[in-house]
Amino acid sequence: MTENGFTPTEVKIAKGGIVVFKNMGTQDVWPASGPHPAHTGYPKFDPKKGVKPGESFSIDFPDAKTYPFHDHLNPSHFGKVVVE
């Protein structure tokens, strides 16, 4: 992820898998569950602050479903984790 968005915007993983969001940009990025700004779709999916450049945030996905997410600091950037 960077301040310009998420790459890729869709990730497919197995149930119970972990996704690592690494900030490869120059500004803080805050990946969080939808909807913005409440993050109630999967409340655990919220680092509660921006992820600094070079740092990462890891989150596990326990249920087979689609988890939409966004950048809380720039909610026009979004994506989804599809758990199969």
- What predicted TM-score, i.e. pTM, was given to this entire model? 0.92
Fold of 10-83: Immunoglobulin-like (2.60.40)
Model pLDDT, residue 13 = 98
- Name residues whose C-beta falls within 8 Å of residue 20's C-beta, 6 or more positions apart in sequence: 56, 57, 58
Model pLDDT, residue 48 = 96
In 3D space, the residue among 3, 9, 13 whose CA is nearest the CA of residue 73 turns out to be 3
Q: If you average pLDDT over residues 19-45, what whole number do you get?
A: 96
The tokens for 3 are 């301040």
Q: If you average pLDDT over residues 73-77, what whole number do you get?
A: 95
Query: Is 33 within 8 Å of 19 (Cβ atoms)?
Result: no
What are the beta bridge partners of residue 22? 56
Q: What percent of the chain has pLDDT over 70?
A: 100
